[in-house]
Amino acid sequence: MAKPTHIVDASALIAYFKGEDGQDTFAELLKDDRNVLAMHVVNLCEIYYGYLRSDGLEKAEEAWTKANAILAIIQSLDAQFVKRVGRWKVDHNLGLADAFAAAAAEENACPLVTTDRNDFGRVEQAGALQIVWLR
C-alpha cells in the first residue's frame, strides 16, 4: 500500500456513499491521482455494521466492496498503534472508532477527512490534527 495522503473517517465515506452534503469534496479528493485515501479496518467495520443494521446484509456487503475498491485499508494493530489509539481516546475524549481514525491520521502524518464536527472539532481546535471537513 502506498503511503496515505488522507485518512477517511466513517462519517465521510457514508456521506459520499449516500450522496449527502460534502460528497463533491470527497469525489474531488478521489479524482486527484496524487491522493491515496485510506481507512482503518475498524472504521470500515463501522460502515459495515451501520449498513447491516439499517439496510441489511446485501447493502452492507456492497458498501464493504465499494470501500475496498476506492480506499486503501489499514489493518495495523501492533502494540504501538493500539497504545496510540488509547491515547487519542483518553486525551481527546473520542469514541473508540474515532480514536482509530485519529491514530491512523497521526501515524501517517496526514489530514483526517470527516463530517464529524462534534468530536473532531475539538481535535482541530487543539491543533492535534489537520482536518478536511466535507461540510
Tell me the CATH number of domain 6-133, given options 3.40.50.1010, 3.40.50.300, 3.40.1190.20, 3.40.720.10.
3.40.50.1010
**H-helix segments, 33-78:** 41-55, 57-70
Instruction: Parse the chain into domains and list their residue ranges.
Output: 6-133
User: How confident is the model over 22-59, as pLDDT tens digits?
Assistant: 999 999 999 999 999 999 999 999 999 999 999 999 99
pTM of the shown model: 0.96
CA 78 from chain centre, in angstroms, equals 19
Q: Is 100 exposed, middle or buried (0-12, 13-18, 19+ CB in 10 A)?
A: buried
User: How confident is the model over 79-112, as pLDDT tens digits?
Assistant: 999 999 999 999 999 999 999 999 999 999 999 9
